[in-house]
Amino acid sequence: MEESEALSAARGMRRTVLGDAYVNGATAAPDPVAVEFQDHLTATAWGVWTRGGLSSRDRSLLVLAMTAALGRMEEFRIHAESASRAGVTDVEVDEPLFQIAAYAGVPAGSSARRVVAAVRRER
């Protein structure tokens, strides 16, 4: 089956932002359902990133804010680690933490801040 242009673009964007090592690890499962699931995630979540209207930098900041607000710290961490590949500076990662704490609650902001601090220590 030939890959659609949209899925191909989404795969490219995912690799650009998350990096080859992460994507290779996430897509290495030999289980056909796992492969299908990864294709679904790529087409839906990363397909959005290929739309016009917002830069990758802006989309990265939005994903950081949404995952933190929802308490999805595992996903927040993945995107905090890769934010620089989308053109986001450390200062630009720091500033939304204040808004996250104000609008989504102090626990969400504090958890996100701890993740950011850990990511930076690990660099």
Could you read off the pLDDT of 75-92 as tens digits, one per residue? 999 999 999 999 999 999
Specify whether the CB–CB gap between 89 and 60 falls below 8 A. Answer: no
- Indicate if 109 and 61 belong to the same structural domain: yes
Domain extent for 115: 53-123
- Among 10, 27, 51, the domain-final residue is 51
Under DSSP, the state recorded for 1 is -
Q: What is each CA distance from 5 to 8, 15, 55, in whole angstroms?
A: 5, 15, 20
pTM: 0.88
- Report the pLDDT value the prediction gives residue 28, as an integer from 0 to 100: 86
Say whether both 5 and 61 belong to one domain. no
Look up residue 29 and give its two tokens: 């499962």
Over residues 89-118, the pLDDT tens digits come to 999 999 999 999 999 999 999 999 999 999
Domain co-membership, 20 together with 37: yes
Mean pLDDT of 38-66: 95
Least Cα distance to 111 among 119, 121, 88, 86 occurs for 119
Place 3 in a pLDDT band, splitting at 50, 70 and 90. Answer: confident
